[in-house]
Amino acid sequence: MKKIFLVLLSFLVFSQSFASYTAVKYSTTEIEAANSLASRWIINNNKDNPEKYNLKDFVLRQEIAAVSRWVAWLPKKSFCEGIFSDVSAVKPNTWACLSIEPLVDKGLITKNSEFRPEHNITKAETLWMLIRSIGFDYSFDPKNPKSWQEQIVDYAFSKWVIKSKFTDYNTYATRGWVFMIADTTIKKDEEIKIKEKIEKWIYSDVIIY
C-alpha cells in the first residue's frame, strides 16, 4: 500500500541518531524484509551493506506516531493545540506535535496527560497504533479475559499483519521488526487487492466477447 511506502520513507528521515551495531548479526528475515522494501524504493538500498539498515535500533513513540499518521492518510495539523503536556510546537522537536495530535483528533490514540514522545515504543504498542491506522476494524474487548496486548497480537495474526504470535509484548520494537511487519502487510494487501479484482471480474455482469 502506497501510504505505507511513504510512511517508511518519512520514518527513516526521523531516525538519524544511530548506535554502532557492527558486531550484531542480523536475522535473514529482517534483511530480506529491508531488501524487499528497498526494491520498492521505500527505503534506501543497502543490500550490499545490511548494517546500514540499522535494523537493531529501537523506535521512538513519536516516530511510530508519524508512521501511523501517514498510514491513516491524515494531514499534518497547521498548528499545535498542546493536547499533551510533553508535546508542543517546539518540543521534543518541531514536527512531532503536528503528526501526533491528528491521531487524537481521529480517535486513533487516547488523549492522556502525556504522550512520552521520546520513549521507546513496545511491540504491542506499535501493533496497536498501526492496526488502528491501517484501517482494520479493531476494538479492545474489556469482557475478554485476555490482556489488551494478547488481544491485539491475536487480531494482527488473524489479519496476517504478523506471521506468528509473540508474547514478549513489552519488548521494544526495532527497525528490523517494523520493516518485517510493513513488508508482510504490504504483500498481504497486494494479495487481497488481486483477489478482489479477480472476484469482481468473475462475478461481473459485463460479458466480454
pLDDT at 11: 52
Give the model's confidence band at 10: pLDDT under 50 very low, under 70 low, under 90 confident, else very high: low
CB 96 within 8 A of CB 86: no
For the chain, the structural domain boundaries read: 2-186
Query: Of the candidates 63, 68, 71, which has an alpha carbon nearest to the alpha carbon of residue 174?
Result: 63
Residue 86 CA to residue 112 CA, distance in Å, equals 11
- Cα gap 172→177, rounded to integer Å: 10
Report pLDDT digits (tens) over 156-208: 999 888 888 999 999 999 989 888 877 776 676 677 667 767 766 666 555 44
Per the CB < 8 A criterion, the answer to whether 170 and 118 are in contact is no
pLDDT by residue (tens digit) across 28-43?
889 998 898 788 776 7
- pLDDT tens-digit series, residues 40-98: 776 778 999 999 988 999 988 998 888 788 777 889 999 999 999 999 999 898 889 99
